[in-house]
Structure 1
Amino acid sequence: MASKLISYDGDRDTFLFGAQEVTDKQIRHSIADTLRKRSWSGGAEVVDFLYVRVTVQYLLQMLDFVDDNGWFWDSFDLGTSDHDFDWNRITPGEHWGYAQDLKTQGRDDLSAADWLHDEGNVVLARKTRRLANETFNYADRILKTGQK
């Protein structure tokens, strides 16, 4: 099985799409070519590399991410459990685990809020539920932006 890994090599200023090495210029040319062809055919804005297929939107966000952070790494082989690959959203990388911990904390807070409500402490249950919602929102923000 071919590796479906996308990464950025800062030392060589190239991207690896599986086993294929691609320069920034080649990516930008592929984006322009895809958009040009799409204007003729009305087809999807998809760019194919050897074993990796991504959307133009994904590539643009990937390039912006590298410009902002100086690194990029995304794996979406079958069976990868670190994230669900979304062609239109960049993987949050190193903060993914932190966001999952926040979601676990939010679930624990919701359980505590249910227990408090059952015990008759409605005011504290409401505050705990609000805290859980804030925790979930923070985790979602990390997953969407890739930043804490």
Structure 2
Amino acid sequence: MEDDEVVDGDLGRGMDGDLDGGLGEAVPDEEVGLMVRDLHERGLAGDLAGVAAAAGGRSFRELEALGRPRVAAFSLPELVMRLEFAELIPDEDFEAAGVSPDEVAGVRGFALAWVEDVKLRRADEGDTDVDDPDVPAID
């Protein structure tokens, strides 16, 4: 995803196709920022589903920018960890959060796309850890 690309998905879209997050209108930036904060801090199925549904036309960078001022110690690696965990969250947790079985894959795809976006940006900006502690040293 390029910097100017926006997140697009069907989650939370009303019958007219406008993103409403289930609220009948576009979700305000303040509310989206609080949702990103919750995702960053807890990473629950409902947190991820809420952000995916409310993203509506916002880029991943915009979502990060909305959440950053609401988290005392915002950490992109922490957010990526929460997003990567989406693959391990049971479908039942998503369903308990109000996500239909047909939408679970879309929420996970949203998380994966965000992770890939962050990783590509970090590589492009030279912000990757060359000395990975998980790789044994070569003598």
- TM-score, normalised via structure 1 length: 0.26
Of Structure 1 and Structure 2, which has the larger fraction of its residues in strand? Answer: 1
Bigger radius of gyration among the two: 1
Structure with the bigger RCO (C-alpha within 8 Å, sep 6+) is 2
